[in-house]
Chains A and B, each alone.
Chain A
């Protein structure tokens, strides 16, 4: 019998909110958090920037030495711990696991170093001795471990834009294996600090443009023209149900099921057959049928082809016969938070268990018929009769797919 795993705390930094209450309020109010920023070598680009106070938890020196992803991790971890109500100081720190999904890490820091030595005629004696600790793949989790004094396993899971879900899935697995007793998990992104990520999407013809930044991220709209790159993070505290109940924890949701698979098809193009397979397996893993899904968070990033392909996958799974299934998208508000996307998007929907409202996909002025899924919630929040199950999709480059299902906690 597998242990039941529950979510007991949420901490987040997003372009439109620095905690779950703010984030949810802005999702229901239709408030996007996209702005125009000046990007090295490129000039103005559209991006989702976070405006949390890093000095709330970190010292100035930590910020000087560490990375943006590390700072976001620390902020989100501390917020999640506070939300969980756990007495962290009294815990056995060697039994705490920190599992953080990331799309990439080290790009930002490497670009910064090359830019810095360009001022010294590229003489590498000016290359920072912090480069390696800043760029190792475990940096975001490692900085959180250092900050918290947490001595259990702390590492990152590289899974492109499927990574946010992967942090939670991996944590649930580790809790069930008994490897740790308490997990801090989710995903982070510092991608807005890297010109290369923006330039890469631009070269790919997949970087969004719009006169109004807040209208730039528009999945499913006929005029969508690409991705808005964002930074952010969302970390959860996960526990085995017995432990959570023993300490009287507030329980946000229960992990119901999941699936991770791979397209094995293309570097960047998604494969709807494999995506549908991932979703079906997650639903089966949770012991449900498609009709039991009340909210489906789509991964859709507003690329012309990618949105259609995800819709094709969802149509294959849900068809026309799931009247209680509502479909939405969070990137329309916050852009694509890369490794944080899945974790943030799940958080945006969690309050639906309580308020029975499905936040909409905004910026759909002219719905693309190829994206016209039954149950799509567009532009206005929808009050619904039941929200007991949420399916959270996150897909990534090199064909990695993750689907995570959480359900209302019932003792």
Chain B
């Protein structure tokens, strides 16, 4: 998985969590909370959906890594690839 593909996966989750938001112009380097109506419970939803849909675990200590699309891609892409390598 590339980082761009990883961002698409994260955006797909956010589109379900925040269905009223326009995600067509999300800036990858800006904190998600600064450009979308997302609260702490929504970030827990992102963590839960990563777990449910992709078997990816994000420990609480790493929640900050989900701040922006860029940081999500940096943090999650290796995890996706590690999982793909196992299968």
- CB atoms of A61 and B20 under 8 A apart: yes
Which residue of the partner chain A has the closest CB to B45? Answer: A129
Which single member of A60, A126, A129 contacts B52 (CB below 8 Å)?
A126
Q: How far is the CB of A258 from chain B (nearest CB, A)?
A: 40
Which residue of the partner chain A has the closest CB to B21? Answer: A61
Main secondary structure of the interface of B (DSSP, over half): helix
Chain A interface size, under 10 / 10 to 19 / 20 to 34 / 35 or more: 10 to 19
- CB atoms of B18 and A129 under 8 A apart: no
Considering the chains assembled together, what is the distance between the CA atoms of A65 and B16 in angstroms? 11
- CB atoms of B41 and A130 under 8 A apart: yes
Considering the chains assembled together, what is the distance between the CA atoms of A130 and B19 in angstroms? 17
Q: Is A125 an interface residue (CB 8 A)?
A: yes
Considering the chains assembled together, what is the distance between the CA atoms of A282 and B3 in angstroms? 70
Q: List B contacts of A65 (CB < 8 A).
A: 41
Q: How far is the CB of A53 from chain B (nearest CB, A)?
A: 16
Q: Is B9 an interface residue (CB 8 A)?
A: no
Quick one: which of A45-74 are within 8 Å of B by CB?
59-61, 64-65
0/1 string, B32-73, CB within 8 A of A gives 1:
000001000100110010011000000000000000000000
Q: Is A3 an interface residue (CB 8 A)?
A: no
Which single member of A59, A60, A61, A125 contacts B51 (CB below 8 Å)?
A125
Which single member of A64, A126, A128, A129 contacts B19 (CB below 8 Å)?
A64
Considering the chains assembled together, what is the distance between the CA atoms of A283 and B20 in angstroms? 50
Chain B interface size, under 10 / 10 to 19 / 20 to 34 / 35 or more: 10 to 19
- CB atoms of B20 and A126 under 8 A apart: no
Q: List A contacts of B44 (CB < 8 A).
A: 129
Q: How far is the CB of A276 from chain B (nearest CB, A)?
A: 49
Which residue of the partner chain A has the closest CB to B44? Answer: A129
Q: Is A120 an interface residue (CB 8 A)?
A: yes
Q: List B contacts of A59 (CB < 8 A).
A: 20
Q: List B contacts of A129 (CB < 8 A).
A: 41, 44-45, 48
Q: How far is the CB of A378 from chain B (nearest CB, A)?
A: 48
Which residue of the partner chain B has the closest CB to A126? Answer: B52
Which residue of the partner chain B has the closest CB to A63? Answer: B19
With A61-B18, A61-B20, A64-B19 known as contacts, the answer to whether A126 contacts B48 (CB < 8 A) is yes
0/1 string, A92-127, CB within 8 A of B gives 1:
000000000000000000000000000010000110
Quick one: which of B1-41 are within 8 Å of A by CB?
16-20, 37, 41
Considering the chains assembled together, what is the distance between the CA atoms of A159 and B87 in angstroms? 54
Considering the chains assembled together, what is the distance between the CA atoms of A125 and B52 in angstroms? 10
Considering the chains assembled together, what is the distance between the CA atoms of A339 and B18 in angstroms? 31
- CB atoms of A120 and B48 under 8 A apart: no
Q: List B contacts of A125 (CB < 8 A).
A: 51
Q: How far is the CB of A271 from chain B (nearest CB, A)?
A: 45
Considering the chains assembled together, what is the distance between the CA atoms of A64 and B20 in angstroms? 11
Which residue of the partner chain B has the closest CB to A64? Answer: B19
Considering the chains assembled together, what is the distance between the CA atoms of A120 and B19 in angstroms? 25
Q: List A contacts of B52 (CB < 8 A).
A: 120, 126
Considering the chains assembled together, what is the distance between the CA atoms of A129 and B39 in angstroms? 13
Considering the chains assembled together, what is the distance between the CA atoms of A60 and B17 in angstroms? 9
Q: How far is the CB of A102 from chain B (nearest CB, A)?
A: 23
Considering the chains assembled together, what is the distance between the CA atoms of A60 and B21 in angstroms? 10
Q: List B contacts of A60 (CB < 8 A).
A: 19-20
Q: List A contacts of B19 (CB < 8 A).
A: 60-61, 64
Q: How far is the CB of A90 from chain B (nearest CB, A)?
A: 26
0/1 string, A21-65, CB within 8 A of B gives 1:
000000000000000000000000000000000000001110011
Q: List A contacts of B20 (CB < 8 A).
A: 59-61
Which residue of the partner chain B has the closest CB to A129? Answer: B44
Q: List B contacts of A128 (CB < 8 A).
A: 48
Considering the chains assembled together, what is the distance between the CA atoms of A267 and B35 in angstroms? 54
A-B complex: 10 closest residue pairs judged by Cβ atoms: A60-B19, A59-B20, A129-B44, A60-B20, A61-B20, A61-B18, A61-B19, A126-B52, A129-B41, A64-B19
19 A-B pairs in the complex with CB atoms less than 8 angstroms apart: A59-B20, A60-B19, A60-B20, A61-B18, A61-B19, A61-B20, A61-B37, A64-B16, A64-B19, A120-B52, A125-B51, A126-B48, A126-B52, A128-B48, A129-B41, A129-B44, A129-B45, A129-B48, A130-B41
Which A residues have a C-beta under 8 Å from some C-beta of B?
59-61, 64-65, 120, 125-126, 128-130
